């Protein structure tokens, strides 16, 4: 089983995770820029983070044979902090970089006017830079958040097939499926979407334009839930080809729209556990 996790925050994960992911078949990931938990107070804090998403983290992933790409944005939550707003001016130079395959995570957290502005401005950046957009949907008041997100996406003029709405569930999938946007599902250990529920959704709606991710981050989460979903699909009678479509070809198709997806693996480093100080993180 080859797996492309289209939404995972490896910055928050350990090398144990990289090792287990590689063993489970994860060959590629996309890491969206997001909220780190601790509020950031200045722009430099973001640019150092963005630099690590396009520099250090791909290097770390490469040691485990995993190809790493990033999406860059001012996340919805921190869009509400005026100290963070100037991050928007820094985005264009990152959106030109090779390893950046979309603008994201953008969208809504609490649906404030500040979030409206940042969301619309960043969809405009996606259009200007000819990149897809990765839209986070709020965990609270989700249906209203999805409806409002779809309205902002439509207003922006970005092609719907270049947009994924993530963290969908049984309720919100109905709102998105006929819009032409991609359907993103984050599989969590004990709340929200689970592998068996995901299988039921795939039975009901098919495998087209569906992305399945672990969204693993600094909270309770599991980077192997992509694999668990693939196995649950097989047990439910889906074919290997169906699994490959959902867990590999769909994310390749979606993020491939950036023209920057690089999945050649000849220069990926073999897993290494040698005592090289740089490979250990310089410590």
Positions that interact with Zn ion (CB under 5 A)? 34, 215
- Shortest Cβ 219–Zn ion spacing (Å): 10
Tokens of 19: 């090792």
DSSP codes joined into one string, 106-124: EE-SS--HHHHHHHHHHHH
For Zn ion, the nearest residue by Cβ is 34
State how far the alpha carbon of 63 is from the alpha carbons of 9, 236, 274, in Å.
Answer: 17, 34, 11
Q: Which of 6, 44, 45 is nearest to 253 (CA)?
A: 6
How many other C-beta atoms are found inside a 10 Å radius of the C-beta of residue 208? 12
- Shortest Cβ 158–Zn ion spacing (Å): 20
Cβ proximity to Zn ion: between 34 and 188 the closer is 34
- Shortest Cβ 186–Zn ion spacing (Å): 7
- Shortest Cβ 229–Zn ion spacing (Å): 17
Q: Which of 3, 91, 100, 1 is nearest to 55 (CA)?
A: 100
Q: Which residue has the tokens 């619309």?
A: 120
Cβ proximity to Zn ion: between 5 and 243 the closer is 5
Give dist(CA 107, CA 76) in Å, integer.
6
Give dist(CA 204, CA 26) in Å, integer.
26
The H helix count followed by the E strand count for the chain is 11, 8
Cβ proximity to Zn ion: between 119 and 238 the closer is 119
Of how many residues is the chain composed?
A: 283
Task: Look at strands 3-5 and 26-32 and give their pairing.
Answer: parallel
Cβ proximity to Zn ion: between 34 and 108 the closer is 34
Cβ proximity to Zn ion: between 49 and 271 the closer is 49
Cβ proximity to Zn ion: between 9 and 238 the closer is 9
């Amino acid at each position: 089983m080859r797996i492309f996790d289209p939404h995972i925050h490896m910055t928050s994960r350990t090398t144990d995770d990289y090792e287990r992911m590689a063993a489970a078949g994860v060959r590629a990931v996309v890491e969206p820029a997001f909220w780190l938990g601790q509020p950031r107070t200045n722009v430099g804090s973001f640019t150092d983070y963005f630099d690590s998403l396009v520099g250090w983290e791909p290097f770390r992933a490469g040691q485990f044979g995993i190809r790493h790409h990033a999406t860059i944005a001012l996340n919805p939550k921190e869009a509400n902090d005026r100290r963070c707003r100037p991050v928007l001016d820094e985005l264009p130079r990152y959106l030109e970089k090779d390893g950046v395959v979309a603008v994201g995570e953008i969208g809504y957290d609490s649906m404030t006017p500040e979030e409206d502005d940042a969301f619309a401005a960043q969809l405009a950046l996606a259009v200007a830079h000819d990149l897809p957009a990765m839209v986070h949907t709020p965990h609270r008041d989700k249906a209203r958040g999805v409806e409002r997100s779809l309205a902002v996406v439509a207003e922006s003029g970005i092609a719907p097939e270049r947009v994924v709405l993530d963290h969908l569930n049984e309720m919100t999938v109905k709102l998105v499926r006929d819009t032409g946007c991609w359907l993103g599902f984050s599989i969590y250990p004990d709340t929200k979407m689970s592998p068996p529920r995901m299988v039921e959704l795939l039975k009901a709606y098919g495998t087209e334009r569906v992305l399945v991710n672990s969204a693993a981050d600094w909270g309770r989460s599991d980077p192997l839930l992509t694999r668990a979903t693939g196995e649950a699909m097989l047990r439910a009678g889906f074919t290997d080809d169906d699994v490959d479509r959902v867990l590999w070809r769909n994310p390749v198709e979606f993020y491939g729209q950036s023209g920057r997806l690089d999945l050649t693996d000849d220069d990926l480093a073999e897993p290494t556990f040698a005592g090289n100080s740089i490979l250990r993180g310089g410590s």
